[in-house]
Amino acid sequence: MKLHKGHIYLMLAFSLAGTSVVTGRSLTGALDSFAITITGLGLMLLCLFPFFAAKTLHTIRRLQKPDWAALFCQALFGIFLFRILLLTGLPLTSTAEAGILTGAAPAITALLAWFFLREPLSAKTALGILCTVTGIILLQNNHLTNAALVWQHTTGNLFVLGAAACESVFNVISRKQRRKDESAKLPIQPLIQTMLVAVAAGMLCLIPALWEKSLEALWSIGWQEWGALLWYGLVITALSFVCFYEGVKYCDAYTTAALSGLLPLTALLLAVLFWGEAMTYQQWLGGLLIVCSILLLADQKKSSTTADDFT
């Protein structure tokens, strides 16, 4: 039951995270990357901190140096580098292609989990990840064969791939921290952890945002841009991170890697709906494989080393 709960939380987390591609595309024309990130984080903290100030301060007082180091790394890779690389790459490539390229995260996460966490890889989990990776290849292949591979376009794709790698590092760091929290008497609550990570990421973004000198542009943007910034802060950051932190309590890193395939699938579907970008039968087949990988994991029991485990 807890594993199904973890699946639901992770599916929701990655689906919401997938909206960052379309949301970012709608903001990049009006604001620079650091301004978008720090404003979204600021709106989130402004809305949530007054209600959770006491719990947050209580948590801060009992955190130790390793906890702060883990939170800083999550802020660095999960918010700061991920969003900066994604928002930098978006203007240089298509929305759909950027969403698809974030699908490199499952394979990267699985590799990092095996190498650093030494988590056993079951046959069913491996098949789920294989379906995800195959789906990503099918989704991407149409663009690789038809897009004009100019330098600017390739550079944009590399930025997005870098964002996917940062997402993978964030997944593994979060899973490793959850291992420690499972034995802790007072583990950090997901919402409090999200707020602390957001504060750290905001501090990383502050100086670059001031250097960009684009914060003054906030006064000239319209209600649609402000709505997108609120979505960025409250949904893409707060809600998706809370769901993610709650989900990784019950799922291993390989399951997390496979379910992260929902991020590029969501991004692609939203690009079709809101930006009118076409999908081919090959891309639909790739999306179906990603869904199949989720179904393969739906009835999987909590991982333990069994006869079909291999490393």
Domain residue spans of the chain: 2-298
Residue 307 pLDDT > 80: no
How confident is the model over 92-113, as a mean pLDDT? 72
For the ranges 76-80, 102-106, 252-256, 293-297, the maximum mean pLDDT occurs at 76-80
**Of 264, 253, 261, whose CA–CA distance to 303 is shortest?**
253
Q: Go through 141-151 and write b for each residue having 16 or more CB atoms within 10 A of its CB, e for each that does not.
A: ebbeeeeeeee
Phi, psi of 14 (to 5 degrees): -75, -30
Tens-digit pLDDT profile for residues 40-54? 999 999 998 888 899
Q: Identify whether the C-beta of residue 40 lies closer than 8 Å to the C-beta of residue 236.
A: yes
pLDDT at 260: 79
Q: Is 63 helix (H, G, I), strand (E, B) or coil?
A: coil
Residue 206 pLDDT > 70: yes
Look up tokens 């009118």; give the residue.
276
Q: Which residues contact 194 (CB under 8 A, 6 or more apart)?
A: 237, 238, 241, 242, 245
Look up tokens 């932190």; give the residue.
245
Q: Go through 20-56 and write b for each residue having 16 or more CB atoms within 10 A of its CB, e for each that does not.
A: bbbbbbbbbebbbbbbbbbbbbbbbbeebeeeeeeeb
pLDDT band with cut points at 50, 70 and 90 for residue 134: confident
pLDDT band with cut points at 50, 70 and 90 for residue 297: low
Dist CA 304 CA 243 (whole Å): 24
pLDDT band with cut points at 50, 70 and 90 for residue 178: low
pLDDT at 28: 77
pLDDT at 205: 87
How confident is the model over 235-255, as a mean pLDDT? 86
Looking at the chain, the whole-number percentage of residues with pLDDT higher than 90 is: 13
pLDDT at 304: 40
Q: Is 310 helix (H, G, I), strand (E, B) or coil?
A: strand
How confident is the model over 176-203, as a mean pLDDT? 76
pLDDT at 171: 80
How confident is the model over 141-170, as a mean pLDDT? 71
Residue 158 pLDDT > 60: yes
Residue 2 pLDDT > 70: no
